Amino acid sequence: MKTVRKTLFGVLRHIIFWPVVLTLLVSATMFAMVSFHTLRAQHENNMTLVARTTSYATEAAIMFDDRQTGIEILSEIAAREHLCEIMIRADNGGIFAHVVNPCDSPIDRLTEFMADMGFFNDTTRVDIDRNGQRMGEVEIRGDGSVFAGFLRRALAVFAGGLALAVLAARVPARWMEQRFAAELAALSSMARAARLESNFTRRLPAFEIAEFNGLGQDFNALFGEIQARNAELMLRQSQLEIVNNTLSRMAMRDPLTGLANRACFSEQLNNAIENARETGSKVGVLYIDNDHFKDINDSYGHAAGDALLVNVGHRLSGAVRESDLVARLGGDEFVILLAPVSGEDDLQHVANKVLAATARKLRLVEQVDIRLGVSIGMALFPDQAGDPEALLRAADHAMYRAKRLGRGRACMYDPSVDAPREEA
C-alpha cells in the first residue's frame, strides 16, 4: 500500500490553523461575554430610563386619580418603547393602570427564554415619588427589540472585524506561501536535475529567507565540489583509458620491431580461420626465417642484429596488403597472415614479393653492406591444415625444407615430403 506523504505546506497550514482557530474562538468567547454584559447593562439602563420617564409622566394622573389618562399615557409609552407590559401599582398595592401588548415574535420568545434562564432581568420597577412621598410603583417588561438591536449591531461588528482579520491575515500568508513555494521549488528542481540527469552545473540564486539562502549556498558548494570531483574522475578515467590502450597495444606488439607479437598473431589467426569456416574462404600463412642471422649477430653484435630485424620487419610490411598481418614470433622468425586468399598462387605471389624485398643489400655498419636472405614456408587452410596450430606447424615444416634446399627460397607445405620431418 502506497504511503501518502504530508506536504510541508499542509503541515504548516495545520500548525497555523488550529492555533488561529483556538485564538479566534477564545477571542470570540471573550468578546461575546463582554458584549453581552455591556448589552445587558445598556438594556437595563434603558429600561430604567423608560420606567422613570413613565413615573414622571403619570405622576399627575395618579395624584388626581385619573385612571383613563394614566392608561393613555402607558399605551403611548408602551407603543413607542416596544414594551410587552407596563403597569402602575398604587401605594396601597392596587393596580392603578395596566397595559399589555402582544409579544409573540421569535425575538420576544428568545428574550423571555434568556430572562427565565437568568441572563438578564426583563422586568424593571421604579418608585413614583412626589416631594419625597411615595405614590406608587412603575413596572415595565420589554419585548426584547432593543436588546435584539444591540445584539445585532454587536454581531455585525464582530463579523465585520473577523472578516477583515481573515483578509488581513490571508494576504501576507499567501505572499509568504508564494515565497516559500518559489524557493523550495528551486531547491527541489536542482536536486531532481542532479538525481535524474546527473546535472551538477546548475547554481541557485540568493534567497530572501535566510535559512533557505544558507541551504541554497550549501547546495551550490556541494555541487561545485561534485562537479570538480567528476571532472577529476573523468580526467583520471581518460588517462587510464590511454594507459590501458597503450598497455593493450604493448601487450599485442613486439617491442623491438613494433609488429604484432605471437599473442596478437594467434588471436588474429584464430579469428581468420573461424571466419573462413563460416564463409568457405581460405587463409594462408608464410613462415619466414632469416638466413645466417646468428653469424651476423655474432660478427657485428646484438645492436646490429636488432637493427637487421627492424629493417626486415619494415620490408615485410611493405610487401603485403594493408589487410594482411605481419608478426614477429621471436628471435629472427617472422610470420605473415594472408586472409582471405583464393589459393596457393596468392601465397606464392606474396612470397616472391618478400624474397625480392629482402634481396636488397642492407648497410648494417659503416662501410659494411650485407645481403639479406630469408627462407619461407607456406601453408593453406583448409587444404593443408584444419586448425590454427596445424596450419602454423605446416608452414614451419615447409620453411625448414626451404632451408635444406639452399635457403633464400619459398616452399609450399607438402605432407609427403614435410611429414617425415615433423615426425623426426
Would you name the residues annotated as active-site residues? 332
How many Å apart are CA 218 and CA 213, to the nearest integer?
9
H/E element, 128: strand 123-130
Q: What's the count of helices (H) and strands (E) in the chain, helices before strands?
A: 11, 11
Burial of 11 from C-beta contacts in 10 A (0-12 / 13-18 / 19+): exposed
Peptide bond into 340 cis (omega under 30): yes
Retrieve residue 362's grid coordinates. Answer: 642492407
H helices of 198-209, in order, are none
CA terminus-to-terminus distance, the chain? 81
* Closest of 338, 357, 359, 356 to residue 347, by C-alpha: 338
Retrieve residue 279's grid coordinates. Answer: 564463409
Q: Which residues of 25-63 are buried (b: 16+ CB within 10 A; e: fewer)?
A: eeeeeebeeebbeebbeebbebbeebbeebbebbbebbe
**How many residues in total does the chain contain?**
424
Yes or no: say if 300 and 351 are a contact pair by the CB < 8 Å rule: no
How many Å apart are CA 339 and CA 279, to the nearest integer?
12
Q: Torsion angle, CA of 413/418/419/421, rounded to 10 degrees?
A: -140
Beta bridge pairs of residue 83: 142
Q: Helix or strand or coil: residue 410?
A: strand
Output the CA–CA distances (angstroms, integers) from residue 278 to 224, 275, 339, 342, 416, in the order listed. 55, 5, 13, 15, 29
Output the CA–CA distances (angstroms, integers) from residue 260 to 165, 335, 374, in the order listed. 89, 10, 19
Q: Helix or strand or coil: residue 408?
A: coil
